[in-house]
Amino acid sequence: MLTILFDGVAYGMLLFVLACGLSVTLGLMNFVNLAHGAFAMAGGYITLVLVNRAGLPFFAGLAIAFLVTALIGALFERTLYVHVYNKNHLDQVLFTIGLVFMSIAAVDYVMGSQQVFIRIPDALQGRFELFGIGIGRYRLLIIVVCGLLTVALQLILSGTRFGSRLRASVDDARVARGLGINVNGVFALTFAFGSGLAGLGGALGAEILGLDPTFPLKYMVYFLIVVTVGGSSSIIGPFLAALLIGIADVAGKYYVPKFGAFVIYTIMIVLLIIRPQGLFARAAGR
């Protein structure tokens, strides 16, 4: 049972890294970016090409995936997304769905539609036993990496000037602008960083989540659930939400395989009924 918990935690932390960029985007600009999963997919395939075909070491592949995806995010944000901020939510949804369709078709064309696997180093394969818990080496890596990232994010958010600018902008963009904070600049940087994290998550998660051109649509729901349940005004909210979703999903699929998939959908709907603004969001807000 503890193994399930361990796997669930790994899954949840991965979901967090994948989804936290989306959460900040929503909280900061009230922008629904359904194409977030496309950046994750991009990161995954970039690492695939670098590691499997160009023979780069795994960790280098991860780092480059982060950077390249962040750059792609910045590029798209400055040229396209910026024109859609003022539009209503429906338009934003349609716009990002359009990008998703384009990305799926493009990746399908270039890489083929079959599921692909990134070659992970031998040291990370297999599992070992610790106090009766089956610890998968790769999953352990995920927990470590994602844990470090979470800590780093929290430190940046609370300890740096950029972090306080970001928090101010999320809290009230108009007032923040009035204080001289370059909200658009903050957002561009955050969007890029969030996309980079998504790319990293996509690369890290390829082994567990499976990587194929339909990735953005398959996992879009999970990201959205994390963001909706966790709220978009902090790091802790989505983090706990992601853990909850991860553990519930893994446990659900193990203990009640027939209904495993329902578990998270039902949790989401129930939570949204009880607290429409998300489980961990502030009571007041936009």
Partner 1 sequence: MQPAAVEKVDRYLAGRARWGALEYVFWLLALASIWHGYFHLPERYLILTEIAWLGLFALSLDLILGYAGIISLGHAAFFGLGSYVAALLAKHGIINEPVLALVVAGLAAAVLGFATSFLVLRGSDLARLMVTLGIALIMREIANQIPEVTGGADGLQGVTIAPILGTFAFDIFGHVAYTYCLIVLFVLFLLARRIVHSPFGLSLRAVKGNPLRSSLVGIAVDRRLVAIYTVAAFYAGVAGALLAQTTAFASLDVFSFERSADLLLVLIIGGTGYLYGGLIGAVAFKLIQDSLATFDPQYWQYWIGLLLVFLVLFGRIYGAIIAALIFAVARWLQLSFFECALIMLAIGLGYGHIQKGLKLLDGAIARLVGHARSATPMLAHRKP
DSSP letter assigned to residue 116:
B
Query: Rule CB under 8 A: is residue 57 a binding residue for partner 1?
Result: no
Segment near partner 1 (CB under 8 A); pick from 53-61, 89-97, 138-146, 246-254: 89-97
Nearer to partner 1, 79 or 174 (CB): 79
Contact between 79 and partner 1 by CB under 8 A: the answer reads yes
Q: How far is the CB of 139 from partner 1 (least distance, A)?
A: 25
10 Å CB burial of residue 154 (0-12, 13-18, 19+) is middle
Among 77, 21, 73, smallest CA distance to 232 is for 21
Half-sphere exposure of 192 (CA within 13 A, CB side): 15
Which candidate, 230, 281, 248, places its Cα nearest to that of 20? 230
Does position 184 bind partner 1 by CB under 8 A?
Answer: no
Distance CA 78, CA 90 (A): 21
CB of 136 to partner 1, least distance (A): 27
Contact 119, 50 (CB under 8 A): no
> x-or-dash pattern for partner 1, window 106-135, by CB under 8 A?
x-xxx-------------------------
User: From the list 89, 115, 123, 159, which residue makes contact with partner 1 (rule: CB under 8 A)?
Assistant: 89
Amino acid code (one letter) for 35: A
First to last CA, the chain: 40
- Contacting partner 1 within 1-30 (CB under 8 A): 26
Q: Which two tokens stand for residue 96?
A: 């990002």
Other C-beta atoms closer than 10 Å to the C-beta of 52 total 14
How many chain residues interact with partner 1 (CB under 8 A)? 50
Binding-residue pattern over the window 139 to 168 for partner 1, x denoting contact by CB under 8 A = ------------------------------
Cβ neighbours for 1, distance < 8 A, ≥ 6 positions apart: none
Q: Which residues contact 268 (CB under 8 A, 6 or more apart)?
A: 225, 228, 229
84 binds partner 1 (CB under 8 A): yes
Told to check if 87 binds partner 1 by CB under 8 A, we report: yes
With contacts defined by CB under 8 A, name the span among 122-130, 148-156, 197-205, 267-275 that binds partner 1.
267-275
83 binds partner 1 (CB under 8 A): yes
| Eight-state DSSP code of residue 211 | B
Binding to partner 1 (CB under 8 A): which residues in 198-237?
Answer: 217, 220-221, 224-225, 227-228
Tokens 């610890």, residue located? 135
Strand ranges in the chain using DSSP code E only, listed in sequence order: 127-130, 133-136
Smaller CB distance to partner 1: residue 110 or 155? 110
- Pick the closer one to partner 1 by CB: 84 or 133: 84
Interface positions with partner 1 (CB under 8 A): 26, 32, 75-76, 78-80, 82-84, 87, 89-95, 97-106, 108-110, 217, 220-221, 224-225, 227-228, 258-259, 261-262, 265-266, 268-269, 272-273, 276-277
